Amino acid sequence: MEFCHKPVLLEECIENLKIKPDGIYVDGTLGGAGHSMEIAKRLTDGGLLIGIDQDQAAIEAAGERLAVWPGRYRIVRDNYVHMAEALEGLSVKGADGILLDLGVSSYQLDTPGRGFSYMEDAPLDMRMDQRQEKTARDIVNEYSEGELYRLIRDFGEDRFAKNIAKHIVKAREKKAVETTGELAQLVKEAIPARVRAQGGHPAKRTFQAIRIELNRELAVLTETLDQAARLLNPGGRMCIITFHSLEDRIVKTKFREMENPCTCPPDFPVCVCGRKSLGKVITRKPILPSEEETEENPRAKSAKLRVFERNGEGKGGVL
């Protein structure tokens, strides 16, 4: 299957990155290179795009597409949490722009064997990096009822988390839960019929929760933001696209902290904590996709873009 991923908020990202032809840009979620192609197109041979992804299928597809710009890009197979090490390995000290397009790609969702979708029956996998041994099957069959309840409640924000966890544990006492179809059916049975009739697929939140837990998505995002901001050169920008409230909350909070990290009480006449601002938040409210874009690409509907700009002092590189 071809790696197809329609880039979300593409024009808005390109506009906010303020691309310099000779600049250095990092796409930490390379995917099918939808955003990266537009960045590379705007660079001269003095510029550089660094694409990072942990999915081998993405690496191969992106490499083929970016080949039209030889010398303008480097691809690293890794998790974006290791962005600083990736840049160091390429002898790059700082970046003029960083892009993260979070969540699961259309290719991953639409490839049944990857086990991300509740719409197709397939082995419970959900690994973004297939070199990882642990899969969604391990979580579903080995986590305690309490652990399942907490992750479905916290990462899926599902009010029926307790009942879903109970149904999973009861089912696996008879036989292991092996496929996405089996899990989707268990979730469906755990949710009242009147609720199932409203909104989207009843398994959506549970699948999201398990995927986030397995791939450590929220932990990785939290660990990355400060580091990424410090990698920015003066005036450099970071653009982050989120797809659900948990991610967006982390980005919004972290951006505010990076803009105003002072921990002194408000009535202190002068700052004594010594924490200095890394820059400013460009988007007080997130940028949302246009009505036209959501009509063309329904998966863009929940997307939000937030932008942060590094201040003009100092230089890029992890401090």
pLDDT at position 288 over 70 = yes
Task: Please check whether residue 200 lies inside any domain of the structure.
Answer: yes
Residues 205 and 131 in one domain: yes
Residues 204 and 237 in one domain: no
Residues 244 and 202 in one domain: no
In angstroms, rounded to a whole number, what is the distance separating the alpha carbons of residues 240 and 227? 14
Residues 221 and 160 in one domain: no
* pLDDT band at 273; cut points 50, 70, 90: confident
pLDDT at position 51 over 70 = yes
pLDDT at position 315 over 50 = no
Whole-Å CA distances, 110 to 121, 205, 289, 316, 319: 12, 18, 22, 38, 40
In angstroms, rounded to a whole number, what is the distance separating the alpha carbons of residues 175 and 168? 10
User: What value does the mean pLDDT of the chain take?
Assistant: 92
- Of 215, 245, 273, the last residue of a domain is 215
Residues 156 and 290 in one domain: no
Quote the pLDDT of residue 316: 46
pLDDT in tens, 216-250: 999 999 999 999 999 999 999 999 999 999 999 99
pLDDT in tens, 155-171: 999 999 999 999 999 99
Residues 202 and 231 in one domain: no
Please report, for the domain that includes residue 16, its CATH number.
Answer: 3.40.50.150
Residues 160 and 305 in one domain: no
DSSP 8-state code for residue 281 = E
| Strand ranges of the sheet holding 304-310, from the earlier edge strand across to the other edge | 73-77, 48-53, 24-27, 95-101, 232-242, 304-310, 279-281
Residues 158 and 132 in one domain: yes
Residues 96 and 231 in one domain: yes
The answer to whether the CB of 108 falls within 8 A of the CB of 116 is: yes
Residues of the domain holding 187: 117-215
Residues 161 and 207 in one domain: yes
* pLDDT band at 64; cut points 50, 70, 90: very high
pLDDT at position 275 over 80 = yes
Task: Please check whether residue 4 lies inside any domain of the structure.
Answer: no
Task: Please check whether residue 316 lies inside any domain of the structure.
Answer: no
User: How many domains does the chain fold into?
Assistant: 2
pLDDT at position 186 over 50 = yes
Please report, for the domain that includes residue 148, its CATH number.
Answer: 1.10.150.170
- Of 174, 189, 215, the last residue of a domain is 215
* pLDDT band at 110; cut points 50, 70, 90: confident
Quote the pLDDT of residue 4: 54
pLDDT at position 26 over 70 = yes
* pLDDT band at 73; cut points 50, 70, 90: very high
* pLDDT band at 319; cut points 50, 70, 90: very low
Task: Please check whether residue 238 lies inside any domain of the structure.
Answer: yes
Which is nearest to 251 in space by CA: 297, 305, 302?
Answer: 305
Mean pLDDT for the stretch of residues 114-128: 94
Quote the pLDDT of residue 281: 97
Give Cα 196 distance to the centre of its chain: 28
Tokens encoding 151: 């992750």
Task: Please check whether residue 2 lies inside any domain of the structure.
Answer: no
Residues 206 and 221 in one domain: no
Residues 207 and 294 in one domain: no
Task: Please check whether residue 231 lies inside any domain of the structure.
Answer: yes
Mean pLDDT for the stretch of residues 173-179: 97
